Structure 1
């Protein structure tokens, strides 16, 4: 796991200053504290910060070159099947000088070019320079586990880096804010992969590559893989369960290869518990596990984590933190660069911090909710789609739309009485309703916060539109397929994997997600919806398959997750911060917001007249990020 950076001149081979490449790489030193490297040639420079995981010797150092120095690569990630790919390349005559997975990329490119990506099972973002072709090849893994940003500068250079802060370290980079990304952030809770708060910055999308050749314009990225929900698996349930367990076992085993101490996050939920169960089968030694708990029982899951730790005799460590751990706000703002509103990042940072005290690599359970339909919103959405199917669209809009407009808004009430949102959702098509269910603030709420000039500047742009378009074009059979496919494209890389990458890398920890093994996800996408959700249970087949391994009180308890009580904070400890948002010189200076509307939002929340905790948290994160990025 590492940080990469570089400069490439596609028009003419201008000289590259090694100091500039080094500065870009060193801005990401937390991603690779073990070593640093810079390589330059006419028109190109690659930088690297190394977190040594496989082949800790100098032979694994980067940037790595072929003996003839015609190929050079700077790479962030892990290729879990590198030994298999290496054997194939050696059979073709390739000679290896190291035991690292990095070298597989060099020989793989020479043998297969861009098509080598389909042979790789891993998480990665890398830049490979080919002197003979005079080209730079940028690539990102299937799900976007590892990030990659790039931008074109005024002198004709294309710069790239793992994190935004790497690009900003280049002296020619000019910082200007893009308000459309603010709309995306307030709508979704994160700045998605097709946007950036800093104008001119692009993110290479998950499962895409970019091949830039000297003398040619910079092209659009090319998709090299996609999930397919249009096929259906057949067979007996017990056979599908057995295949699921076999694929999980293989995925976990492949991610336990490391030359440094390795462990696992253990929350006590189904996903992390399943990973630990598979690790215990594979490991000769006790698995190292870690958990964090909260000092409020409603938020604490450590009793379930201890149950799993005892069952598999793990070497378990845990730490209790207060749920009001908002002292990390500025740390997180620095780690993410762009605003990020998922408040569970505080808890994720703390568990990464605990893990790093004892291991360098930690396996997580991330990805199962998206692959196997574990989120509650999938269950609600599937039920809504069944209701929509009972009435013609025009009649449905008239009936549910009228009821929704008449029903009072009651965010404070128990869930069964908060029907306004559901009724309005039923009046819309699923591809319009689901994006609002997965988002944070509604379009109507955002329009009330924006200034008139800001609304005009958006020119109709809406954060939810990318979700709607994706669901319409999804390779899918039904509504649940389309929702999961859209989440794999947007929510997973934008929120979940972004959160895990930034918080783990902030403490120089490598996190691996075995439940996002692409072969496992491709299998999950073929499962009939009735095996993903049944009897109100999400991840139904996963839970059934794990019954021989995990206790029922873990498998079938209500999903909790990391809960951060931001609403309570803004009525108590952070009430002053909320009140200050309405007169923030940072937000006021943008001209984007109606500050009186923000002030009323904060006052209504503090007084208990309305529930605006998540929106206030977004505005606070936005304010801090704008101040850090633009001063």
Structure 2
């Protein structure tokens, strides 16, 4: 795993300095502490930071072919490189290394852009072909590895694994994109391809970008793959279980190739437990497993992880983390480079920190919920869809909309009595309803939060447009498949993969995700939704497939997740920090917020009758972003002045 960076001049006349490329490359030294190097030629600069995992001796980058005409900087792993290597040798290509990096170089020479269809793995790379005068960027199908880019005011192009590569360039302008702020306060992250800065972009998952020397037009990303939910596989349940075990086994086997210590995260959930059980069946030695527990039993899954560790006699390491482990706010702001509100980033950071003491590569269970229908919200959405399908939209909008407006927001009540959100969703169409359920702050909450000047700057834009854009591409009428597709494009890439990539790379740890193997994902998309959710049980086919291999309690207990006690933090030890952050001069001067609303959120939460922990945490993390990312650059926030009112 590595960090990549680079600069490109479409005219080929600009001479980039070694000091500049070295400086922007080194801001992501945590991604690759083992080696670093740069390459310079007229109109091009490539930088690389290496975390050595495969071919420790000869895999240094930037890596070029024999005559020096094709070079690459690459972040990730190509799991089928050992299969591609003899095929490329048969075509006449010679290898000087044993690395998967050189496989990409020769695959490009052999197949051009079509090489992407041959690569199985997680990757982002930039490849320079001097003969074709072409810079080619690509990102893996599931968006596991990141790629950021921008066109600078002087016309040059910059790219890097992390956004901090772009902001380290003295010519990059840190104007905040109002649309990204709206997206953040809906999703809790800024979804691809947008970045928090107006001029920066994320290369979307399963896309490539081709820049050609002499072409002054700004190239646009092009998709090279997508998942198609056919849901038409006629396979029986028993055969599906057997095939699923074999496909998971193959995916895990490919991800166990490494020249460094390798292990797995073991949370005690179904997905990570299935991965560990599969690893144990493939390994002659005990699997290294890592877990963290919490001193608060409401959030502690370590006993379930221990059951799996005992069953497979893994070399298990456990660390207990305090439930008041909230000292990472500023660290996370520096790490993620833009606002990021998933509070589970805290335990994710800790488990990566702990795992790196024992291994360099760790397998995870990420992606299982999205592919196999594991989230509670999937089952709720299906239930709502059955009601929506019975009544025309106009009637639903009138009936449920009116009832929802009258129904109180009962944060204090037991979950079955908190019906306001469900009633609101029943009045909406399917896409709007799912966005409503996924939004950290719903549309009316964002309207109240933002200043009137900021709302005008949005020009009518709403974050629901992100979902509507992808829904038009989904090509499925199946209710579960549609929201799985939306999660693949947004939640999985923008939240889960971003969280794990930054947390793991902060500790120079490589994380591999067997359940995100694109061939496995493609096959799962052919299975009927009834195999994924049946009788109210999510991940049904996976649980049935692993019943012989995992304890019943692990498979069928309620899902817990990597939660932290936000509400109690913000009424207790974080209360003062919350007030100072939410009402900081930075926040009030930004022009984004209605100061009355900020004060009301604090007062109501501290009074105990409303749980505004989600909104307040998002505001704390936004303030941390402004302080960490914006103030050092003395950047100008591009919105109108704040509506200042007395609290």
Q: Bin the TM-score by the shorter chain.
A: over 0.9
CA distance in 1, matches of 2:582, 2:133: 53
**Alpha-carbon distance, 1:11 to partner:** 2.7
Structure 2 distance, partners of 1:48, 1:594, is 43
Which residue of structure 2 lines up, in the alignment, with residue 331 of structure 1? 331
**1:229 maps to which residue?**
229
Secondary structure of the equivalent of 2:538? coil
**Any idea what SS the aligned residue of 1:473 has?**
coil
Q: Tell me the residue number matched to 2:512.
A: 512
Describe the superposition over 1:375-433 as per-residue Cα deviations: whole angstroms up to 9, x where unpaired.
10000001100111111222222222222122222121111101111011111111110
Aligned pairs for 1:81-160 within 5 A: 81-160=80-159
Q: Would you say the 8 A contact 2:12–2:44 is kept in 1?
A: no
TM-score scaled by structure 2? 0.96
Q: In 1, distance between residues paired with 2:193 and 2:65? A: 34
Q: 466-475 vs 24-33, which deviates more?
A: 466-475
Give the equivalent residue in structure 2 for 1:368: 368
Q: For residues 532-611 of structure 1, what are the structure 2 equivalents within 5 Å?
A: 532-611=532-611
Q: Which moved more, 1:393-402 or 1:504-513?
A: 393-402
Q: Deviations over 1:273-310 (max 9, x none)?
A: 00000100111110000100000111111110010000
1:418 alignment partner in structure 2: 418
The 2-side partners of 1:115 and 1:66 are apart by: 18
Contact 1:228 1:475 in 2 (8 A): yes
| 1:54 alignment partner, SS class | coil
Count how many residue pairs are aligned between Structure 1 and Structure 2: 630
SS in 1 for 2:530: helix
CA–CA separation in structure 1 for the residues paired with 2:122 and 2:81: 12
Residue 17, structure 1, aligned to residue 21, structure 2? no
Q: In terms of mean alpha carbon deviation, does 615-624 or 162-171 score higher?
A: 162-171
Residues 176-185 or 303-312, more deviating: 176-185
Whole-Å separation in 1 of the counterparts to 2:625 and 2:221 = 28
**Secondary structure at the residue paired with 1:87?**
helix
- SS state at 1:128 partner: strand
What per-residue deviation string (whole Å, max 9, x for no partner) do you get for residues 583-612 of structure 1?
311111111111121011011001112110
Q: Which residue pairs with 2:200 in the alignment?
A: 201
* 8 Å CA contact retained: 1:431, 1:472: no
Provide Cα deviations, 1:161-217, integer angstroms capped at 9, x if missing partner: 000111112222222222221111010000111211122001100000000001112
Shift of 1:470: 1.6
8 A contact 2:385–2:479 mirrored in 1: yes
Q: Distance in 1 between matches of 2:509 and 2:122?
A: 15
Alignment of 1:314-393 (within 5 A): 314-393=314-393
> Residue in 2 aligned with 1:291?
291
Q: Which residue of 1 aligns with 2:642?
A: none
Which runs of no fewer than 5 residues in structure 2 stay unpaired?
A: 632-647
Answer yes or no: is the 8 Å Cα contact 1:435–1:468 preserved in 2: no
**What is aligned with 1:486?**
486
**Counterpart in 1 of 2:47?**
47
User: Distance in 2 between the 1:447 and 1:342 partners?
Assistant: 21
The answer to whether the 8 Å contact 1:532/1:540 transfers is yes
SS in 2 for 1:159: strand
Q: Is the 8 A contact 1:64 1:73 kept in 2?
A: yes
The whole-number CA distance in structure 2 between the counterparts of 1:424 and 1:121 is 42
Corresponding residue for residue 643 of structure 2: none
> Does the aligned pair in 1 maintain the 2:186–2:440 contact within 8 Å?
yes
Describe the SS at the equivalent of 2:142.
Answer: coil
Q: Give the C-alpha shift of residue 96 in structure 1.
A: 0.5
In structure 1, stretches of 5+ residues that fail to align are none
CA-CA distance at 1:218 after TM superposition: 2.3
Q: Does structure 2 conserve the Cα–Cα contact (< 8 Å) formed by 1:581 and 1:598?
A: no
8 A contact 1:11–1:156 mirrored in 2: no
Q: Give 1:231 shift.
A: 4.4
TM-superposition CA deviations, 1:331-375 (whole Å, max 9, x none) = 111111111100000000000011000100000000000111111
Distance 2:83 2:348 in 1: 33
Q: Residue 411 of structure 2 contacts residue 609 of structure 2 at CA under 8 Å; is this kept in 1?
A: no
Q: Contact 2:88–2:106 at 8 Å: present in 1 too? A: yes
Matches of 1:231 and 1:534, distance apart in 2 = 15
Give the secondary structure class of the aligned counterpart of 2:199: coil
Quote the Cα distance in structure 2 between the aligned partners of 1:314 and 1:458: 53
Q: How far apart in 2 are the matches of 1:376 and 1:104?
A: 41
2:63 and 2:73 in contact (8 A); partners too:
yes
Query: What is the Cα deviation at residue 582 of structure 1?
Result: 4.6
- Does 2:61 align with 1:62? yes
**Could you tell me whether the CA contact under 8 Å between 2:288 and 2:315 is conserved in 1?**
yes
The 5 Å alignment of 1:266-305 reads 266-305=266-305
Q: 1:472 to 1:414 in 2, by over 3 A?
A: farther
2-structure distance, mates of 1:26, 1:453: 39
Between the aligned partners of 1:462 and 1:526, the Cα distance in structure 2 is 33
User: Separation in 1 of the partners of 2:460 and 2:544?
Assistant: 46
Q: Is contact 2:11-2:43 (8 Å) kept?
A: no
> How far apart are residue 477 of structure 1 and its match?
3.0
Structure 2 contact 270–543 (Cα < 8 Å) conserved:
yes
In 2: Cα distance, 1:110 partner to 1:244 partner: 35
1:185 correspondence with 2:176: no
Q: Secondary structure at the match of 1:60?
A: coil
SS at structure 2 position matched to 1:280: helix
Distance 1:232 1:490 in 2: 25
Pick which of 416-425 and 472-481 moved more.
Answer: 472-481
- Does the aligned pair in 2 maintain the 1:431–1:468 contact within 8 Å? yes
Find the aligned partners of 2:35 and 2:12 in 1 and give their Cα distance.
31
Secondary structure in 1 matching 2:327: helix
Q: Distance in 2 between matches of 1:169 and 1:588?
A: 26
CA distance in 1, matches of 2:593, 2:402: 31
For residues 582 and 563 of structure 1, the distance between their equivalents in structure 2, rounded to whole angstroms, comes to 22
CA contact (8 A) 1:188 1:464 kept: no
In structure 2, distance between residues paired with 1:592 and 1:89: 55
- Report if aligned partners of 2:3, 2:75 keep a CA contact under 8 Å in 1: yes
Q: Which residue of 1 aligns with 2:635?
A: none
Are the aligned partners of 1:62 and 1:73 in contact in 2 as well (CA < 8 Å)? yes
Task: Check the 8 A contact 1:13/1:44 in 2, yes or no.
Answer: no
Shift of 1:66: 1.0
2:169 paired residue number = 170
3-state SS of the aligned residue for 1:49? strand
Partner Cα separation in structure 1 for residue 162 and residue 56 of structure 2: 24
Shift of 1:628: 1.3
**Aligned equivalents of 2:167 and 2:468: distance in 1?**
33
Farther off after superposition, 319-328 or 7-16: 7-16
Q: Matched residues in 1 for 2:563 and 2:40: separation?
A: 47
Tell whether the 8 Å contact from 2:264 to 2:290 is kept in structure 1 after alignment.
yes
* Cα deviation, residue 472, structure 1: 3.7
